[in-house]
Copies of this chain bind each other. A is one copy, B any other.
């Protein structure tokens, strides 16, 4: 075969413009090959976007590509118009693929595909501010409920559009999905079709190994839904399945269980080949592939496209070169950031430090058990799992179940450490955490990916409300470590404290500045450590990023002769009043800087305590935090946009 198109890129990334999508759609008459060609071009642009962004959910975008292409090309009436059929993804992780298709169909400004996961670009998960994104998703399990609400509103308005919702298969572990099903039956929601992108792999590994779904068809059927099953990567099978859905279940909601392959359309990323003998972790869930893998994938995708086009006598696709490289390319993955220090210093991240400290604790305390919700890598738990397989419990994407089960384990005499991303851990099982507290259980909750950055995944994954949401729970201490030493100290503290603990763990790189800060000796609840002795201008902060930027701000201010005192207060909902009184004595200004909405966080706690101390002449007080939804972008641009970088902080703190 000589079908490799001449313009196929090698390592210089290129992308397919909408005009070429349009030409291919026009020139391939066969609907199934047309769909295959379009989804292949969309996959090329998806890979381009993710490689350029440094992160993004590739496997999920590829598995869903044929479903989404079929919907937009063949199934939906007038997509992208006010009265046209609606599609959205409940899992949201597959949004790079959706962006690529929408741009290819001119339903999204194609200039945006160069700005995936960048400020004012395309967010890492769907957001309604992007055209043709009906809902914010990425927090799993909400889509069916939202679709139902939209349909109820449409009925009130006399509007008859159909609504298609894509869910993941791992996503079905969330209870809200099952909670949502009855209402759709009750209301006879013929407008509603749920498509399960059944690619069998969730964040960490095989769904069956995490929390097996069992007989998915029987489950939906038992909830009164119509069920159709098909190959979700085959345009012809998809067409037949949608036809069957309409014919067999004209009066109610139905689900299409679409068997797909994670990474479909490209052998490099496809599950069956990418988890080799002895491997258990899927490598293309959210990070950008290696340059070699990207090159191999581009070659394969361009070859597929070329073969298809050649078969239909269609001229090869003319790709376009990428615009100037963005600084995003400095950031290797969604949790990465450039090393700004000179010299041999290697930035590191806190979750693995946390995980090692937990192993150490578990060796000494047989009560310690660990619970996970499908984020075993991102929460640093792999070493624990390997060393204590009997004391490790995997719950899948089922945070409420996990947290209540932790209550049961504590009732049975164990000391549970409960894990997820902070964004999910503080909010989804909020009532369950409180319920455990009302029983007086000792439980440690550890939420990684906390704070404003990394900002590439977008606001569904940026935990900037956790201190407020958990801070009032009686007997729960909220604390955030700033470096490895403090992480180890807080894990030891959590192991022996009288109260329960919520550890707020940053997943941003810890660079030399934060790493060098003294961690304090034995942590004393509510007391901070002065990490830079300056003058009566005092800034308080917690976590590696806030402190690094504050130390940077101090440098900038020092150049102007202003000596900032920087204090690390890792306690976010407690402050020792004696310690605070000492700090405030003689202070001219006290500012709390936090990666949290500027309400309900550390600034409120410090302000309340300071005012209740009743100083005759209190220092000028200010809290600096987020005043709006956190932006999606690189670490540097997001910190700057929220006034949280060293320069902005220096300007704000200058007397």
Residue ranges of A at the interface with B (Cβ–Cβ < 8 Å): 127-128, 134-136, 139, 141-142, 145-154, 156-157, 159, 173-180, 182-183, 185-186, 211-215, 218-219, 221-224, 369, 390-391, 393, 395-396, 398, 400-414, 416, 424, 427-428, 430-432, 434-435, 438-440, 459-460, 465, 467-469, 471-474, 573, 596-597, 599-601, 603-605, 607-608, 610-612, 614, 616-618, 620-623, 628-629
Contacts and interface: CB of A to CB of B under 8 A. Distances in A.
Contact of A465 (B139, B440, B473): B473
Contact of A176 (B215, B404, B618): B404
Contacts of A403: 145
Contacts of A152: 369, 393, 405, 408-409, 412
12 contacts: A145-B407, A149-B405, A149-B416, A150-B409, A150-B412, A153-B410, A157-B413, A175-B175, A178-B178, A214-B222, A218-B222, A573-B600
A405 B145 contact: yes
Contacts of A177: 175
Contacts of A146: 404-405, 407-408, 411
A621 B628 contact: no
B428 A148 contact: no
Contact of A224 (B214, B369, B400, B407): B214
Given A440-B128, A611-B618, A407 B135 contact: yes
B472 A599 contact: yes
Nearest to A628: B474
Closest 7 CB pairs of A and B: A149-B408, A153-B412, A175-B175, A175-B179, A145-B404, A427-B431, A149-B405
Q: Give the one of A424, A435, A573 with max B CB within 10 A.
A: A435
A425 to B, nearest CB: 10
Contact of A469 (B127, B430, B620): B430
A252 to B, nearest CB: 12
A213 to B, nearest CB: 7
A570 to B, nearest CB: 18
A151 B390 CA distance: 13
Contacts of A176: 175, 400-401, 404, 432
Contacts of A213: 182
Contacts of A223: 214, 219
A408 B187 CA distance: 15
Contacts of A128: 411, 439-440
Given A152-B412, A182-B214, 14 more contacts: A139-B432, A145-B403, A145-B408, A149-B408, A149-B416, A152-B369, A153-B412, A156-B369, A178-B178, A186-B211, A218-B221, A430-B430, A468-B468, A614-B621
A139 B435 contact: yes
Contacts of A616: 617
Nearest to A187: B393
A393 B139 CA distance: 24
Nearest to A423: B431
A485 B607 CA distance: 34
Contacts of A469: 430, 468-469, 472
A409 B472 contact: no
A621 B573 CA distance: 19
Contact of A142 (B369, B412, B432, B471): B432
A361 B403 CA distance: 40
A439 to B, nearest CB: 5
Most-contacted residue by chain B among A176, A440, A459, A621 (CB, 10 A): A176
A98 to B, nearest CB: 17
Nearest to A613: B621
